[in-house]
Amino acid sequence: MGALVATAMVASIGNGSAFRKGRDFAAWLGLVPRQHSTGGKAKLMGISKRGNEYLRRLFIHGARSVMMHANRLRHSVGAWLAQLETRVHRNVLAVALANKLARVAWAVLAKEKPFCRTPELLAG
What's the confidence (pLDDT) of residue 124?
Answer: 46
How far is residue 77 from each of residues 8, 17, 36, 102, 119, measured CA to CA in Å? 24, 26, 29, 14, 8
The DSSP call for residue 58 is: H
Tell me the three state secondary structure of residue 15: coil
> What's the structural domain count of the chain?
1
Cα gap 124→57, rounded to integer Å: 23
Give the pLDDT of the chain (124 residues) as one tens digit per residue.
Answer: 778 888 887 887 777 777 888 888 888 888 877 666 777 776 666 676 777 788 888 989 988 988 887 766 666 777 788 888 889 888 888 988 998 888 888 888 887 776 666 554 444 4
The pTM for the full model equals 0.77
What residue type is assigned to position 20 of the chain? Answer: R
Question: Of 26, 19, 16, which is closest to residue 112 (Cα–Cα)?
Answer: 16
Cα gap 50→99, rounded to integer Å: 14
Q: Which domain holds residue 109?
A: 3-122
Question: Of 112, 120, 102, 108, which is closest to residue 23 (Cα–Cα)?
Answer: 102
